[in-house]
Amino acid sequence: MKPFVLPGHRSISEPALLFHPDRKQDRDTHPLAGLLRFGPYSRSLMNPVLDPIKVAVIFPAGFRSRIRNLLREFEQRHTPRERRNYLIEFPGFARVFGLRLEAASDDAIIELPSSVEHEVLGAQRPHLRLADILTTTMNRLTAVRNEFDVVLIFLPDRWERAFHGEDDDFDLHDYIKAINASRGIPTQIVQEGRALSYTCRASVMWRLGIALYCKAGGVPWKLADSEPDAAYVGLSYALRYGEKGRVTFVTCCSQVFDSDGAGLEFVAYETDDVRVFKDEPFLSRSEMRRVMARSLALYQRRHGGRNPKQVIIHKTTEFKPDEVDGCFDAWSSSEGIHLYQIQQETLWRGILIQAPHSPATKSGIPSAYPCNRGSYLQLGEREALLWSQGAVPAAGGQGNFYKEGKGIPHPLVLRRFAGHGGWHEQVQAVLSLSKMNWNNDSLYDRLPVTLSYASILARTVKRMPTILPRPYEFRLFM
Percent of the chain with pLDDT over 90: 41
The pLDDT of residue 186 is 92
Most confident of 64-78, 177-191, 367-381, 392-406: 64-78
Is residue 244 predicted with pLDDT exceeding 60? no
Closest CA to 14 of 406, 375, 378: 375
Q: By mean pLDDT, which of 14-28, 106-120, 228-242 is the weakest?
A: 228-242
pLDDT digits (tens, 9 = 90+) for 340-380: 999 998 888 888 787 776 666 667 777 777 888 999 999 88
Q: Looking at residue 95, what is its pLDDT?
A: 95
Q: How confident is the model at residue 407 (pLDDT cuts 50, 70, 90)?
A: confident
In this structure, which topology does domain 227-476 adopt according to CATH? Nucleotidyltransferase; domain 5 (3.30.420)
Confidence of residue 113 (pLDDT cuts 50, 70, 90): very high
Residue 158 has pLDDT above 80, yes or no: yes
Q: Residue 60's pLDDT is what?
A: 93
Q: Checking DSSP bridges between strand 53-59 and strand 109-111, what pairing results, if any? A: parallel
b/e code 98-127 from CB counts within 10 Å (16+ = b): bbebebbeeebbbbbeeebbeebeeeeebb
- pLDDT for 400: 79
CATH of span 49-215: 3.40.50.2300
Query: Worst-scoring range by mean pLDDT, 122-136, 268-282, 420-434?
Result: 268-282
Residue type, 249: F
Lowest mean per-residue pLDDT among 263-272, 332-341, 407-416: 263-272
Assess contact for 315 and 330: CB atoms under 8 A: no
Given this model, what pLDDT does residue 335 score?
85
Decide if pLDDT at 105 tops 80.
Answer: yes
Whether the CB-CB separation of 199 and 81 falls below 8 Å is answered with yes
Distance CA 275, CA 361 (A): 58
pLDDT band at 268 (very low <50, low <70, confident <90, very high): confident
Residue boundaries of the structural domains of the chain: 49-215, 227-476
Look at residue 91 in the predicted model and tell me its pLDDT.
96
pLDDT of residue 247 exceeding 60, the answer is no
Query: Percent of the chain beyond pLDDT 70?
Result: 88
pTM reported for the whole predicted model? 0.89
> Where does the pLDDT of residue 235 fall: very low under 50, low under 70, confident under 90, or very high at 90 and above?
confident
pLDDT higher than 90, residue 210 = yes
Please tell me the predicted confidence (pLDDT) of residue 474. 77
Backbone φ, ψ for residue 372 (5° rounding): -65, 140
Q: How far apart are CA 139 and CA 363, in angstroms?
A: 67
d(CA 239, CA 276) in angstroms, rounded, equals 10
Q: Name the least confident of 282-291, 314-323, 381-390.
A: 282-291
Tens digit of pLDDT for each residue in 24-60?
999 999 999 999 999 999 887 766 678 899 999 999 9
Q: Which amino acid is at 294?
A: R
